[in-house]
Amino acid sequence: MMHIPALLLIFCAVYATCHEDRRPPEYIVNLDLPEEQRWNAVVADFKYDAILLNKILGELMPKELVPLVEKIASGLDDYLPKPFAGEIRGIAKGLGVEVGEVLIPNIVYDLTAFCTSIVAQDSHGQIWHGRNLDYKYTSILRNITLVAHFQRNNKTVYSAVTYAGYTGILTGQKPNYFTVTADARHKSDDFWKNAILAILDRNASFMSFLIRQTMEESLSYTEAIVKLGYSVTIAPCYYIVGGPYRGQGAVITRGRMRPRDLWFLNPNHGRWYLVETNYDHWEEPPATDNRRAAAMKYLNATGQVDMNDTTLFKILSTPPLLRSLTTYTTLMSAAQPDVFNSWIRYKN
């Protein structure tokens, strides 16, 4: 006779409607190990879905660029900074695929991550930072979402919510220093080409690599803003940054070479939160995708006094902020690193 849980499992497999939100699994990425070995545990656990995703994303890339990707893959150390070349090689070896196949998703997420990020200061001066990451291929991405704690000497230097096989960071916290999320800006048609040419020119960072480098190197909220704002990136994007002290919240609107705009919290003048989705904050978003107005409405209704991780989670769990494309929700607070928490979302 069949157990109830087994029946439930079949029901879920057929209708995919009864998934509960769940916490992503957590891994330690030991920075004291050689780059090639750091992701071994992750690769072993997520092999099937990671390979599947690489194949799907590989199909998206214009065919004429394949030779260029192969060129980069064959000289990875020349084209990518440390530690990315070694880590990508290690992941490819673990998955048993070509280096180019692991390289592609690291580029693709740069183009198309659609998101909502909020940074807010409560009435005690604490900064809260939350985000939803929305993306196509939601089902696979949910399956490979994980939390990585990057450690040296057994101590966490920074943490990220990420996807298996991905070496950059789109959502990260350097405890007691700063928190960062990235949202995509303007998807142009020749993005692929520009991105790959920038890599071949060796003078531009992937937007997610730059966050990881900032987590490694920057020792304050201000340093993080300068690094994220002024390094050359392969694509325009938004960086949303939170710090441990009052007033420390910013949205950096990036052009490729420099910031197009820096927008800061200004709680003394009533600007106690910033909302960034995927549109420049000084322009009206399209009426068909006004997640910004919805977020502002919910934040206004919550109020600065009641802002905390519970209320921020509630806001990020309300449509249209939570949508069928949402893969995960993360909450952070640089001053109180234990707040760092994520949920894989199953709004089908």
Residue 176 vs 203, nearer CB to ligand NAG: 203
34 phi and psi angles, rounded to 5 deg? -55, 145
Q: Which residues pair with 271 in a beta bridge?
A: 266
Residue 293 near ligand NAG by CB under 6 A: yes
The dihedral sign for the CA sequence 276, 279, 285, 289: negative
Candidates 61-69, 127-135, 195-203, 314-322: pick the segment binding ligand NAG (CB under 6 A). Answer: 195-203
For the CB of residue 109, give the shortest distance to ligand NAG in the complex, in Å. 17
Task: Map residue 294 onto helix, strand or coil.
Answer: helix
Other C-beta atoms closer than 10 Å to the C-beta of 61 total 17
Q: Give the range of 157-165, 238-246, 290-298, 316-324 binding ligand NAG by CB under 6 A.
A: 290-298
Which position among 15, 67, 96, 154 is part of the footprint of ligand NAG (CB under 6 A)? Answer: 154
Q: Is 58 helix (H, G, I), strand (E, B) or coil?
A: helix
Segment contacting ligand NAG (CB under 6 A): 136-144, 278-286, 317-325, 337-345? 136-144
What Cα–Cα distance (Å) separates residue 295 from each residue in 115, 128, 192, 237, 302?
12, 15, 31, 20, 10
Is 12 catalytic? The answer is no
**CB neighbours of 74 closer than 8 A, spacing ≥ 6?**
99
Q: Using the rule CB under 6 A, is 17 a contact of ligand NAG?
A: no
Q: At what angle do helices 99-112 and 84-95 cross, to 10 degrees?
A: 120
316 touches ligand NAG (CB under 6 A)? no
Q: Which residues are catalytic?
A: 115
Binding residues vs ligand NAG (CB under 6 A): 13, 32, 49, 52, 139-140, 143, 153-154, 197-198, 201, 203-204, 232, 270, 293, 296-297, 300, 306, 308, 310-311
